[in-house]
Structure 1
Amino acid sequence: MTDLTVDLGNALAAEARPGVSEGALDRLDDRVARAHETITAGMAADGFGYASLGLPERTDPGAIEAAVADLDADHVLTVGIGGSALGAATVSAALGLADRHHTLDNVDPVETRRLLDALPLDRTTVNVVSRSGTTAETLANFLVVREAMDEAGVDWTERTVVTTGAEGPLRTAATEQGLPALSVPEGVPGRFSALSAVGLVPAAVLGGDIEGVVRGGAAGREALLAGGSLFDYPGYAYGAVAYALEQRGATVTAMLPYAESLEPFAEWFAQLWAESLGKDGLGQTPARALGATDQHSQLQLYRGGRHDKLVTLVRPRERADMAVPATDVEGMSYLGDATLGELLDAEFEATEASLAAADQPNIRVELPRVDGPGIGRLLYEMEAACVLAGELLGVETFAQPAVEWGKRAARGLLGGGEFPEAEAVAEKTTRVVGGE
């Protein structure tokens, strides 16, 4: 089996509570077909948001590689936040580049100083990403990085690439300083932009297989256009069942990959699902976990807690492996006939069975391997799942009004303009316990 697959068996009503009956799936598929018509029409018209699902056809890996060809580097430091950073981290990790790709996606001064002190700045490319070019956290970190490079005697203009919109401070800086600059795709919210320059520049600088990533996304797009049913297309199967389970009380969705190189994917998924679907009192709350590590922490809740969760277990079918050395020590000798990969697979299947035995709904997602095509396909299908879930919920999938409210409030507090949202900070109700 070479394609991505979604196994819904443990989310059926016969196995889980809440669960979805086969009859309900049949009825839901009629709605999926109508949503598919809306989605494909939006794709054809390059409509806002729907254009995201056309990125594999619009993204030119060769052009990205050419733009960064002169940025010889051992490390990449991405300065961005949210969708301007999580997709790139996911791609880099899947391509085995996590130890060379670093991210400043917060404004914690302690962590910023630690990272800048640890990096060889003369061998680091700075990758600055912001659609608007006005994101306060990104601009502040960029100014801090520039100063650190100046103090280290490094010409930051020779080591910086910018990905931004057609206008704004970052576009102006790139033009004035002659920096290599790429464009964020039009009509694509940041959290849906991983299969564009937004997500691919760091891997391109470090020599990763970005062509394979785009090819994997293209395979997902072809499957979507050839499908139209939750019984044909894995992305729709996932999105439809996640929607159906939410309607039945599963208001938490836990993403549990069984590969360390997919841990950033769980973070990317959390933003995608939360920011896209959390509107009008709807949307599942995402949780992030890592197999097998979090079997020793979060699994107790997922198995023994409320029946308000959908757990998604993700694994590659193929991976590099390592043998466990033989030993005669009692209680350990049985491990000597196994490999670490076999142990991880056993942990995966045991967790899946444990959840099913407790009637907790779970879905299995498998990809061929964690590589360029594999991560490209996984990202695309989860984006399609999210878009479908948004259509079924009837929410504005591609908007993020709560995020914009917070941005305006913060900017007003910092003196970046007059924003009424900033006044809400002074109106906070306090009832302090402790202190002097």
Structure 2
Amino acid sequence: MSIDVSIRLGTGDAAIAAEYTRVREQLPQALRAVQVLAEQGLPHFKLPSQTGDLADIAALAGGLTDGAKDLVILGIGGSSLGAKALCQLAGWGTPAQPSLKDRPHLHFVENLDGRSLAGLLSGLDPAATKVLAVSKSGSTTETLAQLLIVAAWASARGADLARHCAVIAEPGNNALRQWAQMTGCPVMDHDPALGGRYSVLSCVGLVPSAVAGLDIRAIRHGAAQALAPLLALDEGSSWAQGAALNMAAMACGRSQSVLWAYADRLEKLTLWWRQLWGESLGKQGKGSTPINALGPVDQHSQLQLYLDGPNDKLITIITTQDGDDLAVPADAAGRIGQSLLGGRTVAEIVNAQARATAEALVRAGRTVRVIHVPRLGEQAMGALMMHFILETLVTAQLLGVDPFDQ
């Protein structure tokens, strides 16, 4: 899966250019350090090529799909953000959400809010509702509170919790597994060595993805393709160069990093990345503040600041050519004086806006990186996620912080 990356330095960015050159000289040592982590057998690096667990993941997803009109997914942070990013590929969380044909409606319940939870439950049929609770530690307060409330609601209305619920948690005598044992519902292990923000390629991300009808094998295959350059210590890989650019930007006062996706189906990816970047690097007074944005809508809410506010941001724009063939009717456009829009597809308009935004930012002296994904699908998403995981890990080595602790 190819990901095209271009780096544009704005007028007056000579300092970043010089620092970028200097940091790239440190890449071999940083890449080798990450490669050593892979050689130590961390699951972060084994998951992309792993296939032995896919049948069990598919089976659990099948159980949650069978007879279900709705699936309530309880989890917070890394137990939810990656799964949401993947499920958005199928249309969840976009105006096209009803396109999840013959699949349960997905309800990700993250934030603990009694009014929201009560409102959700009031519109569900307990006989046709399944529940998946996810917590690495098995002791996350918000998730346990939500689960106990939802379980009481379902049980009081005759639902068999053993058939209607499932749990993902690390092995041990934690509260979530105790509850699962008491109710008899199925349990899948969360790898104890895999932090939540890195768990998207495990059952945490792939069970909901399979429920949404995505090809989970292709997701991992895309991740494996992005991981391959690490084995060759390829300093020219997109994620290695991205780490060097981020380091150069931080050294030159760019204390904020913006990930700006020009596709509805990438909105949740930017939120997943925000946690990954912030929690992995924000230590010892180091790191940069991650900011998510969505195009074209944030051209109308954030672009003024990015163009003419403090020059303290590295801005990464993600574009894709993938889209349907919806086009603006030429005759109708002409009648209202908008001939330039006539006959243009939505994808053409959005990509033209993204290019113009990048050019305007560069002219304003801003530092811009553009990541282009020709076709946005499971393989591409797996590659994008592994790109950002590796970029984060290499940046951590360059910064001298531990990306896994918290």
TM-score by length of 1: 0.85
Letter of the structure 2 residue corresponding to residue 20 of structure 1: I
Following superposition of structure 1 onto structure 2, how do residues 329-368 of structure 1 map, counting pairs within 5 Å? 329-368=335-374
Give the match's secondary structure for 2:63: coil
Matched, 1:85 2:71: no
Residue identity matched to 1:250: R
Q: CA deviation at 1:66?
A: 2.0
Letter in 1 for 2:37: G
Q: Which residue of structure 2 lines up, in the alignment, with residue 176 of structure 1?
A: 182
List alignment gaps of at least 5 residues for structure 2. Answer: 98-104
1 or 2 for the larger relative contact order (CA 8 Å, sep ≥6)? 2
Q: What SS class does the counterpart of residue 352 from structure 2 fall into?
A: helix
Contact 1:273 1:286 in 2 (8 A): yes
Write the letter of the residue equivalent to 2:159: V
Match of 1:408 in 2: none
Matched to 2:63, the amino acid is D
The whole-number CA distance in structure 2 between the counterparts of 1:358 and 1:159 is 55
1:65 maps to a residue whose letter is: A
Report the secondary structure of 1:67's partner residue: helix
Aligned to 1:55: 47
Q: Percent identity at matched positions? A: 34
Q: CA deviation at 1:223?
A: 2.8
Q: Structure 1 339/202 Cα, relative in aligned 2: closer, same or farther at 3 Å?
A: same
What one-letter code is carried by the residue in structure 1 that aligns with 2:200? Answer: A
Query: 5+ unaligned residues in a row in structure 1: which ranges?
Result: 401-436
Matched, 1:271 2:275: yes
Superposed CA offset, 1:385-429 (max 9, x none):
0001111111121111xxxxxxxxxxxxxxxxxxxxxxxxxxxxx
* Contact 2:60 2:207 survives alignment (8 Å): no
**CA-CA distance at 1:151 after TM superposition:** 3.7
Cα distance in 2 between the residues matched to 1:115 and 1:325? 40
Selected match of 2:106 from 83, 92, 101: 101
State the Cα deviation string for residues 96-147 of structure 1 (Å, max 9, x = none).
3443322111111122122222344433321110011111001001111112
Q: Are the equivalent residues in 2 in contact too, given 1:19–1:361 (CA < 8 A)? A: no
| 1:111-190 correspondence to structure 2 within 5 Å | 111-167=116-172, 168-190=174-196
Contact 1:255 1:312 in 2 (8 A): yes
1:309 and 1:360 in contact (8 A); partners too = yes
Contact kept, 8 Å, 1:221 with 1:380, in 2: the verdict is: yes
Which structure 1 residue ranges, 4+ long, deviate > 6 Å from structure 2?
A: none
CA distance in 2, matches of 1:110, 1:305: 38
The count of aligned residue pairs is 390
The Cα shift of 1:74 comes to 3.5
Tell me the residue number matched to 1:404.
Answer: none
For the pair 1:66 / 2:59, whether they are aligned, the reply is yes
Measure, in 2, the Cα distance between the counterparts of 1:288 and 1:120. 35
| 1:350 Cα deviation from its structure 2 partner | 0.9
Letter in 1 for 2:313: K
- Higher deviation after alignment, 264-273 or 214-223: 214-223
- So what's the TM-score if we normalise by structure 2? 0.91
> Equivalent residue for 2:208?
202
Distance 1:131 1:44, change over 3 A: same
Evaluate the alpha carbon distance shift between residue 239 and residue 313 of structure 1 in structure 2; reply closer, same or farther with a 3 A threshold.
same
1:165-193 Cα deviation digits (max 9, x unpaired): 00111122223333222111232111011
Q: Is the 8 A contact 2:322 2:347 kept in 1?
A: no
Q: Deviations over 1:223-282 (max 9, x none)?
A: 3323430xx211111122112101111101111100001100010011011111111111
Greater Cα shift, 62-71 or 233-242: 62-71
In structure 1, the residue matched to 2:27 is: 32
CA contact (8 A) 2:24 2:241 kept: no
Post-superposition offset of 1:367 = 1.9
